[in-house]
Chain A
């Protein structure tokens, strides 16, 4: 584990995908082509909310060059009354999201699709489709969707017996909060709101789908799970999974947003009807209008503490936007928001609110940054009222091994307090600040996850290694798996090739998400490699004529042990591989597991900002992340995850927001006006990797990828308060909003 004898685990080896990406050879979904391929385009609703009375596709079908047209009639209909869950998705909503059925529920909702000889013809044909809409009033923001007279999106959704846009609730309860608040000397209660933000992956959704005359279907697409693509496409098209081969392309970013599909079933039905392979590539505008951001939210938090800082009671209510269909990440908001703390009385309640905007999708630690923004901002105010340093307040209340968390678990060995201690001890926390500069801190938690993974480890005839797993690599899993395999076999990591199999070439593997992939795939790869080592030891024993248990494996070779030590020359992996066909046959092993033992991850961040008080611009000038990662198998990738989360948090906190116009249409559907940070907006982001190994994992791994986006929103907001004395309880802290508050403060002072 964090053993100094490791040669490869814990080193930042060269990325196996690096050269291809640098020279432009990497094959992304939009790079796929096939002979006879034609192009698909989607017609999208121009209204945020409308009944679809009828669709006439006859003129489009008559246009020369058009090969097929698809509407909701071609997609399998799942009745709204019967849940059909697949992971966090439900086929009732998926079938209506990929193609509007009874109603168009947001501007950009797919209504029909065309495949034609060129993308231009397909686009022209879309214009010829006549849709008779009955336009309805719409609700986009939470307050509009939960108002008493709100337009109802789905009349079958009832809340408290009445049709409602509240599609569900979730609560976690520990102890008795009322009794807890009675013991409190100080109670702070505040309300917050955050805006929906997009994952902002560079690569738009794209796929190439071929349905052959015999029904055999091949899908090339970019996703966070080829098995998810296969299963959802099977559900939505009726094609059996055994007839579908889903091939994962190299992925140009996902961040959770590619744990769902939009195009594949549509392309499959277009291909089936046209008898040709169909390629579909979204524009950036389509990505911004019709693919899932994470939720915007309204939260209220109440925390009570004794004078010495002991928190005795805590309560949070979170309303999260789900977009057009149920399924906002209320579990992340409610389950994670108080998870860093040992609090005897906790109650969290989440509301899942539908409204006329695109259906949300997962985004790094779904829901948790929203909950943390509210709780960690309130913690800052509580620390101020108590006169306690905000990190000391967190340390005093830090959850530790044995703490019972409101969302269920009794914590095992975990490293939250270590992140706070490291932050307290760091130079950054003591560095002087200048005029209009401020410092803020915040902590965060993510569940992490195990689940299904498969791996195959094969030894080549020349004594090298090919490892196949079933997970698209969005965060360094290939490089990390190479390190682990090389470590176990005692060989150079460059002798290990790590590949991502398609649904026909590797066993079922759940999608890349939840910070689960390295945790789970390291387990199946470790078991497979250990089986291979046992095989290799057996071959050596056979060659030497000694019992298998008298052989050890180290530094890439079998060695006689015990009484036989030194009696035979070691047999290397190359030598054993060369003799394999004479001593028993091919060498390889596979493992398939539903992995368990994933343990939560914690982080604490320190952020410094400087505010241009004349222009209202907040700049992050220093940032340090402290995270318990269990074990950093590939530290450069771990740091990349930590930095990437911080940058996405900076965008969320400072500038990112969807701007809807008066017609219920997104007015900034591109990277020019949907302002994600660019490189020059952020300082070099510092990282402190903390390793409290997970005892339930062979390499001590916890998840890494999601926690980094949890603390930034509040850390930045708390830093702005420290700089200006203004508390922003509403995001983003964009220049016009900051200047408005500064002016109001100046006027109040005059």
Chain B
């Protein structure tokens, strides 16, 4: 019979040593909403589960001295939802995270788990990338930072080194007139996986877009930062021509596959449609609408 060890350390260092010592046979568990499903289906058979929910840094929600946020990698969506200000500053990040699964799953699922699961269709990741969030990582050799878009390496793979654990996300302070949004295309209305996901974060001065980041999910092996789309938006009044150009940049950035969830042609086209719709929502929010 399969023997599975389980540890739930209370400090980050203990978690890192347990994880590193298992040299590849271990899996980190935050909410477990992906891991347990994968174990049940036989996709993964870990020898050790390192449960990180008892580690304080991974569960903290803090404001940084610079005026941004630091969010523990294991903070569940439902907890972040209750935070008095995070969702006002980053409504797109919150809506991306809170599209994952059902209400019950929301009590467990975290942005850190969603990122480290490595799915190209992860709902919270495009909004994190658009937000310019930084992943704070700690391992046996110390700490390092990576932009969120540099964390995924391909379906089910990350650029974390052996023994490294994602600890938290840092969100920058926001200038006035900034907001974000996330939209996904699913055939159903909920309880589904993105066929295409789009995150847009932008800053508006009057009617002019002065800063923007655009990200797409489920259209390539990893979530994409689409700089050409952002360029098309920056400096524009988000007029039809700018939106068409940004949408075309999104479609051009797509490198999807045909699979049970959608076709190449469909995903490529829908990426542009979602860019326009997501941008409109983010701009409306940025203008205080």
List chain A positions with a Cβ less than 8 A from chain B: 118, 120-121, 124, 285, 614-617, 654-655, 659, 667-668, 672-673, 675, 677-678, 680-681, 734-736, 739-740, 743
How far apart are the CA atoms of A654 and B187 in the complex, in Å?
A: 9
A614 to B273, CA, bound (A): 7
Instruction: Provide the B163-202 mask, 1 if CB < 8 A to any CB of A, else 0.
Output: 0000000000000000000000101111111010000000
Q: Which of B1, B260, B266 contacts A120 (CB under 8 A)? A: B1
Tell whether, in the assembled complex, residue A736 and residue B189 are in contact, meaning their CB atoms are under 8 Å apart: no
Q: Is B88 an interface residue (CB 8 A)?
A: no
A120, A615, A743: which contacts B185 (Cβ < 8 A)?
A615
Name the residue of chain A whose CB is nearest to the CB of B258: A736
Partner of B192, one of A285, A615, A654, A675: A675
In the complex, the answer to whether A735 meets B265 with C-beta atoms within 8 Å is: no
Top 6 nearest A-B pairs (CB, nearest first) are A736-B266, A680-B189, A614-B273, A659-B260, A668-B260, A736-B263
> Cα distance A614–B272 when bound, in Å?
10
* Contact call B260/A667, Cβ cutoff below 8 A: yes
Contact B265 A678 (CB under 8 A): no
B144 at the interface (CB under 8 A from A): no
Known: A615-B185, A615-B270. 16 other contacts (CB 8 A): A120-B1, A121-B1, A285-B41, A614-B270, A654-B187, A655-B188, A667-B259, A672-B193, A673-B260, A675-B187, A675-B188, A735-B187, A736-B263, A736-B266, A739-B266, A740-B265
Q: Decide yes or no: A681 and B41 within 8 Å by CB, A615-B273, A736-B263, A740-B265 being known contacts.
A: no
- Assembled-state Cα–Cα distance A242/B266 (Å): 59
Q: B262 CB to closest chain A CB, in angstroms?
A: 6
- Within 8 Å of chain A (Cβ to Cβ): is B237? no
Contacts of A617 in B (CB 8 A): 185, 187
Against A, the Cβ 8 Å flags (1 = close, 0 = not) of B242-272 are 0000000000000000011111011001100
Chain B interface size band reads 20 to 34
A66 to chain B, nearest CB (A): 12
> In the complex, what residues of B have CB within 8 A of residue A734's CB?
187
Known contacts being A615-B273, A668-B260, is A678 close to B1, with CB within 8 Å?
Answer: no
Our pick among B185, B189, B259 for the contact of A735 (Cβ within 8 Å) is: B185
Residues of B within 8 A of A615 (CB): 185, 270, 273
Number of A-B residue pairs with CB-CB distance less than 8 Å in the complex they form? 56
B5 at the interface (CB under 8 A from A): no
**Residues of A close to B1: CB separation below 8 A:** 118, 120-121, 124
Q: Separation in Å of the B274 CB from the closest CB of chain A?
A: 8
Compute how far the CA of A35 lies from the CA of B1 in the bound complex, rounded to whole angstroms.
Answer: 22
Residue B2 at the A interface, CB < 8 A? Answer: yes
Task: For the complex, give the distance between the alpha carbons of A15 and B101 in Å.
Answer: 31
| A687 to B: closest C-beta gap in Å | 22
Bound CA span A615–B1, Å = 48
**Can you name the residue of chain B whose Cβ is closest to the Cβ of A285?**
B41
Considering only CB atoms, which chain A residue lies closest to B264 in the complex? A736
Q: Which of B64-123 contact A (CB under 8 A)?
A: none
Given A121-B1, A680-B190, A736-B262 contact (CB < 8 Å): yes
Residues of B136-152 whose CB lies within 8 A of A: none
Q: B residues touching A (Cβ–Cβ < 8 Å)? A: 1-2, 41, 185, 187-193, 195, 259-263, 265-266, 269-270, 273
Contacts of B270 in A (CB 8 A): 614-615, 739
B191 contacts across to A, CB distance below 8 A: 672, 678
- A selection of 16 A-B contacts at a CB cut-off of 8 Å is A118-B1, A120-B1, A614-B273, A615-B270, A615-B273, A616-B266, A617-B185, A654-B187, A672-B192, A678-B189, A678-B190, A680-B188, A735-B195, A735-B266, A740-B265, A743-B269
How far does the Cβ of B45 sit from chain A's closest Cβ, in whole Å?
11
Measured between C-beta atoms, what is the minimum distance from A206 to chain B in Å?
Answer: 17
Which of A285, A654, A739 is B269 in contact with, Cβ under 8 Å?
A739
How far, in angstroms, from A341 to B52 measured CA to CA in the complex? 66
Residue of B nearest to A614 (CB): B273
Which residues does chain B contribute within 8 Å of A120, judged by CB atoms?
A: 1-2
Min C-beta distance of B260 to chain A, whole Å: 4
B273 near A681 with CB under 8 A, answer: no
Partner pick for A673 among B41, B189, B261, B273, CB 8 A cutoff: B261
**In the complex, what residue of chain A is closest to B267 when comparing beta carbons?**
A736
Give A704 to B247 CA distance when docked, in angstroms. 50
CA distance A743 to B263 in the complex (A): 14
Identity of the chain A residue whose Cβ is nearest the Cβ of B266 in the assembled complex: A736
Q: How far is the CA of A285 from the CA of B270 in the complex (A)?
A: 30
* A654 / chain B contacts, CB cutoff of 8 Å: 187
For B263, the closest partner residue in chain A by CB is A736
Nearest chain A CB to B99's CB is how many angstroms away? 12
A681 and B260 within 8 A (CB): no
Q: Which chain B residue lies CB-closest to A124?
A: B1
Bound-state CA distance A735–B274 (Å) is: 14
B residues near A124, Cβ cutoff 8 Å? 1
Please give the distance in Å from B95's CB to the nearest CB on chain A: 16
Query: Which residues of A have CB within 8 Å of B193?
Result: 672-673
- Docked Cα-Cα span, A347 to B262, in Å, equals 40
Q: In the complex, A120→B45 CA distance in Å?
A: 13
Residues in chain A near residue B41, CB distance under 8 A: 285
CA distance A506 to B1 in the complex (A): 44
